[in-house]
Structure 1
Amino acid sequence: MRRTTGRSTLKEVAERAGVSIGTASAVFAGKTWVSPATGSVVRRAAEELGYRPRARRPAETGMIGFVSWVSELFSPGNLYYAPVVYGAQQACAELDLSMTYEVIQPRGDRLPLCVERGQVAGLLVLNVGASRDYLARILDAGVSCVLLEHAVIDLPVDYVRHDDETGGYLATRHLIGLGHTSPPPAIITAGAHIVPAARRLAGYHRACAEHGLTPDPAYVRPGDFTARTGYEQMTALLDLPVPPTAVFCANDLSAFGALDALRERGLRVPGDVSVIGYDDVAMAAHASPPLTTIASDKELLGAQAVWHLVQRVRRPETTSRDTMLGVRLVERRSTAPPHP
């Protein structure tokens, strides 16, 4: 039975697990000489007793954690990830810190290993996989958090994100400004639970409303930020009685899939259909044609998150900060006025 009152000690954990205090300490310190079986017994005892190892300060460990949740949507191979992690690593180098990177499986409730082992005092959390309750458990372990591209929640954490609503607005206004008004531009988005996608969709609707346009609901296509659904939803748009002449894809990967669908139909971009993406990943400039997109500074996102995390670790009692980074339109050759 898990103990619910008082604060357990490492000695009590060791006694319950039937090991020495030194062995129990080695488990939480991540020492490799402890067998996996012994580690499991010690961690189970700690869970039953409600024990959390003391999070050591960066001065002691020289390390912060960076975690993300793996899925088809946010896989480590996603083109968005690398520059964010690189920016965080560069900031760590400037601050003489190390960074450990960990991918968390969906539907798992186990805390990141770097938290369980007491290796870090601060954690960067990227994307939508972290529930409020999960984050609260991390905070209860004495680890400060900065959330990247996450919804604002009622916890003492900091946020660093891009101004995605403005980005969605800029992308849609660009298409409308080119003359794509009859019919209005379409959008291939992602699930409403994906915070950046929801914000970009809000910007799309704001631009349409500002110009007196009411898109057909069939023009708002659900996706999941992958090339596969970009292809599928572009195909569905082309099969409508009145296909759109312009499409805003809420990220570059879905735009790449949309370009494939248009090529298969023998349609020209931008001669027949204009396509705009979002994120300005490295491959966007090398697409065929080069992709017009919304650029976000992903390296700066990672670096800002590290700087905020160091400050929050030093002063955990400070109020939450929500830092919003700007975005900009990058015009290339995938958008043009509609064909007469």
Structure 2
Amino acid sequence: MKKITMQQIADHLGVSKFVVSKALSGKGGVNEQTRERVIQAASQLGYFNQKNGYVKNVIPSGTALPAPAGKQSVLVLMPNIRFQNKESLYWGRLLEGISRELEAQGLGMIIVSEPRGDNFMNILNPDGILGMIGVGQIATPFLLEVHRIGLPIVLVDHEDPLIPSDTIFANNVDGMARLTNHLIGLGHRELHFLGNSAFSRSFRDRWSGFRSALEENGLTPQSPEDPMLQLEGIDTGAYGDDLQGWLEQRKAAGTLPTAIVCANDSIAMHACSVLSAIGLHVPGDIAVSGFDNIDDAARHTPAITTINVPKESLGQRAVRKLMDRLVHPDAPQEKIMITVETVYRDSTAEPHRKTAEEK
């Protein structure tokens, strides 16, 4: 394949090679809009999928994995949002899996939870970093910064079309489809999804699993424009008023669903609180389910029916994939799916009122 050059990208966009070089190097002097155009064009032309002379920090195939304790580390990058930090019931467990596996490999861990500026790698010593594990939603410029210096990347619960990397996911589509089929098997015919399909790749996959299960059972899922699919403030719970307004309106109209299927456990617990506040009982009036099986879901009253995501295993698998990538840098990139399981608890039951089709 013919090599894609910065000059070709410049010609494609009608800008100078100097502008393209600045944009791809992460240096200042290029506005954000121009930089995004350059990155998009470079991706479309296949620039990021070729060997571009980056320094490749990899180990020759067939050699033993290096593990000098205290000398080499793995960078763990995660955005600093409320529920995506090491104190989080979900992300904290995933980080424990990463930490445990790195310790077993004799490697250190450097957590960067809030990179400031595109050149955050300058504060680190790339010679002591073997690679990067990205956890959750991470902005493309930060991933490009790591890719630019040649570090191998493994992403957990996220993928970026501009960044060549291995990815690790829980099997969100199958898990949500299985949970939805369970609710349909209990007799529910009016099910509604709560979340935001644009919030993360996992949420989008969970919505897809829910929708496919309904369609396979001859049921019509809500419209993609439904406000409950566009909840704002997922990570802060700021959607509470919108959810309460929607539920009160449906209650007054007599069009409440018999089951609410939530994109994660935090939303499910919040939904239970709102339902209680407007005088509705879970699961007597409405069944509620979650996803992730965070510790609080089991302690909640009622305990939340959910999908168990093996959070520590996701972290451990990411480390093993990174180690494998170091030994086999040219092997095809992989998208690894970890199996999930349904956890049946008290927040779901058979519908106790007639659905519209039964009346």
Band the TM-score falls in, shorter-chain normalisation: 0.7 to 0.9
Distance 1:137 1:270 in 2: 48
The alignment status of 1:291 with 2:295, answered yes or no, reads: no
Q: Give the one of 331, 334, 337 matched to 1:318.
A: 331
Classify 1:59/1:77 alpha carbon distance in 2 versus 1 (closer, same or farther; 3 Å).
closer
Q: Displacement, 1:263?
A: 1.3
- Extract unaligned runs of 5+ from structure 1: 6-51
Q: Give the one of 71, 80, 105 matched to 1:95.
A: 105
**Which residue of 2 is the match for residue 68 of structure 1?**
78
The alignment status of 1:125 with 2:134, answered yes or no, reads: yes
Q: Report % sequence identity.
A: 28
Matches within 5 A, 1:1-340: 59=67, 61-72=71-82, 74-105=84-115, 108-112=117-121, 117-131=126-140, 134-151=142-159, 153=161, 155-181=163-189, 184-217=190-223, 218=226, 220-223=228-231, 224-226=233-235, 228-229=237-238, 231-235=240-244, 236-240=246-250, 241=253, 242-340=255-353
Distance 1:296 1:311 in 2: 23
**Which residue of 2 is the match for residue 23 of structure 1?**
none
Q: Would the aligned equivalents of 1:149 and 1:161 in 2 still touch at CA under 8 Å?
A: yes
The amino acid of 1:159's aligned partner reads T
Distance 2:352 2:166 in 1: 47
Classify 1:3/1:295 alpha carbon distance in 2 versus 1 (closer, same or farther; 3 Å).
closer
- Could you report, residue by residue, the CA deviation over 1:47-83 in whole angstroms, capped at 9, with x for unpaired residues? xxxxx99859754633111110123463444321111
Q: Displacement, 1:3?
A: 11
Q: Would the aligned equivalents of 1:227 and 1:258 in 2 still touch at CA under 8 Å?
A: no
Classify 1:112/1:187 alpha carbon distance in 2 versus 1 (closer, same or farther; 3 Å).
farther
Classify 1:150/1:219 alpha carbon distance in 2 versus 1 (closer, same or farther; 3 Å).
same
Classify 1:238/1:187 alpha carbon distance in 2 versus 1 (closer, same or farther; 3 Å).
farther
Q: Would the aligned equivalents of 2:86 and 2:95 in 1 still touch at CA under 8 Å?
A: no
Distance 2:230 2:344 in 1: 25
Q: Displacement, 1:219?
A: 7.4
Distance 1:292 1:130 in 2: 32
Aligned-pair Cα RMSD in Å: 2.8
Q: Would the aligned equivalents of 1:127 and 1:149 in 2 still touch at CA under 8 Å?
A: yes
4+ aligned runs moved over 4 Å, structure 1:
1-5, 52-60, 112-117
TM-score, length basis structure 2: 0.73
TM-score, length basis structure 1: 0.77
- Could you report, residue by residue, the CA deviation over 1:116-162 in whole angstroms, capped at 9, with x for unpaired residues? 6543121000112231x542331220211101011363643211111
Distance 1:213 1:278 in 2: 22
The amino acid of 2:118's aligned partner reads D
Q: Would the aligned equivalents of 1:233 and 1:258 in 2 still touch at CA under 8 Å?
A: no
Length, aligned pairs only? 291
Distance 1:188 1:230 in 2: 11
